[in-house]
């Protein structure tokens, strides 16, 4: 059975001893879990359902965005699950499944349950085409999905006027005891002649950001900032807020939209801690404030007119 790997031979393998050390550390920490990301007070549900030509993006929560590009409705890592393992979801999704428009295209960054949730996929409106990392297509077929395109790093396909690129990330994956890294992981770039969006997926900081920045012109990057603590345990697979800013600079992108924080307690950091560190690093690097777009849950940014 084929096993997939990271660039630079980085592994995320952690021992039982490491897990014990982390759990012991966690018991000594006091965290304020009462402060959560707020819902947007002015959600544009009607606008996104009626939109047929304008470019927009809406943060649903965690790593889930609705991107409307070139008349195509795209969902990234759709997860509306109320729990993740033993942990209850901390925040409600910004838009309900019932309020979504029909979805044309879905991308999956990797097979972890907080990024690939089949109960959610079952409830999507429309008949979307699924783009998945190499190794995941057979699982989708088993679940009854036929419109599936499997891609390897650096591959590109055209879909309804959008060029879809699959690019590297530094991570790992597993859904059962025996399928460790039997499918790949990565990020997705959506490109038209006018603009481009880069959905990073789940990643640690790695040399791939420089390569991606050299190969693509990126307007908006959806960048993870959470699940980084303790960093001695998490850094290979989850980027810190400081390193996410470093990656943004290397990508030479125009706008930074943070994600992957505040929905599920996957590590020891909280959503507010991740945001505080992001804001501090942004100031330290003296980056323009207008380039940082921190969204509320369910908030929609409309980029341009038709």
Q: Per residue in 195-218, pLDDT tens?
A: 999 999 999 999 999 999 999 999
The answer to whether residue 128 is domain-embedded is yes
9 lies in some domain = no
Question: What average pLDDT does the segment 24-40 reach?
Answer: 85
Decide if 167 is inside a domain: yes
User: Which residue range(s) make up the domain with 60?
Assistant: 38-304
Q: Taking residues 217-241, report their average pLDDT.
A: 95
Q: Total structural domains in the chain?
A: 1
CATH of the domain at 175: 3.60.15.10
Q: Is residue 12 domain-resident?
A: no
Per residue in 123-142, pLDDT tens?
Answer: 999 999 999 999 999 999 99
DSSP three-state, residue 224: strand
Domain membership of residue 111 (yes or no) is yes
Q: Locate all alpha helices (DSSP H) within 135-240, ordered by sequence.
A: 137-142, 208-215, 231-234
Q: What is the DSSP letter of 292?
A: B
* Cα–Cα nearest to 210, from 16, 48, 7: 7
Q: What per-residue confidence (pLDDT) applies to 278?
A: 98
Integer Cα distance of 102 and 104 in angstroms: 7
* Average pLDDT rounded to a whole number, residues 288-292: 97
Each residue of 74-114: pLDDT tens digit? 999 999 999 998 889 999 999 999 999 999 999 999 999 99
Q: Quick check: is 33 in a domain?
A: no
What whole-number percentage of the chain has pLDDT above 90? Answer: 86
Round to whole Å and give the CA distance between 171 and 17.
Answer: 21
Q: What is the pLDDT of residue 286?
A: 97
- Lowest pLDDT segment from 11-15, 237-241, 296-300: 11-15
Sign of CA dihedral 169, 153, 139, 16: negative
Asked whether residue 15 is domain-assigned, the answer is no
Region 226-235: mean pLDDT is: 92
Q: How confident is the model at residue 11 (pLDDT cuts 50, 70, 90)?
A: confident
What CA–CA distance (Å, rounded) separates 184 from 5?
8
Q: What is the mean pLDDT of residues 157-166?
A: 97
179 in any annotated domain: yes
Please state, in angstroms and rounded to a whole number, the distance separating the CA atoms of residues 142 and 124: 18
> What pLDDT does residue 304 have?
61
Rounded Cα distance between 166 and 148, Å, is: 14
| pLDDT above 50 (res 306) | no
DSSP H or E segment with residue 67: strand 64-69
């Amino acid at each position: 059975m084929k096993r997939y790997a990271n660039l630079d031979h980085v592994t995320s393998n952690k021992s039982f001893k490491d897990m014990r050390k982390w759990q012991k550390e966690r018991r000594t920490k006091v965290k304020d879990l009462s402060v959560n990301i707020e819902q947007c007070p002015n959600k544009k549900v009607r606008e996104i359902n009626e939109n047929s030509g304008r470019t927009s993006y809406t943060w649903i929560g965690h790593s889930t965005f609705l991107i409307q590009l070139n008349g195509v409705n795209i969902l990234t890592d759709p997860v509306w699950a109320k729990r993740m393992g033993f942990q209850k979801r901390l925040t409600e999704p910004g838009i309900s499944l019932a309020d979504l428009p029909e979805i044309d295209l879905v991308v999956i960054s990797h097979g972890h349950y907080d990024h690939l949730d089949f109960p959610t996929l079952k409830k999507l409106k429309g008949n979307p085409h699924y783009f998945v990392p190499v190794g995941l297509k057979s699982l989708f077929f088993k679940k009854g999905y036929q419109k599936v395109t499997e891609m390897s790093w650096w591959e590109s396909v055209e879909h309804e006027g959008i060029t879809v690129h699959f690019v590297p990330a530094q991570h790992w994956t597993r859904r059962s005891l025996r399928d460790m890294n039997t499918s790949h992981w990565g990020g997705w770039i959506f490109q038209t002649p006018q603009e481009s969006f880069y959905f990073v997926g789940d990643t640690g900081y790695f040399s791939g950001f420089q390569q991606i920045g050299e190969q693509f012109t990126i307007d908006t990057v959806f960048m993870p900032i959470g699940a980084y603590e303790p960093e001695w345990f998490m850094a290979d697979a989850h980027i810190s807020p400081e390193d996410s800013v470093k990656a943004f600079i290397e990508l030479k992108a125009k706008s930074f939209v943070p994600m992957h924080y505040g929905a599920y307690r996957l590590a020891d950091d909280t959503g507010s801690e991740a945001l505080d560190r992001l804001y501090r690093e942004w100031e330290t690097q003296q980056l323009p404030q207008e380039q940082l777009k921190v969204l509320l849950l369910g908030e929609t940014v409309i980029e341009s007119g038709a």
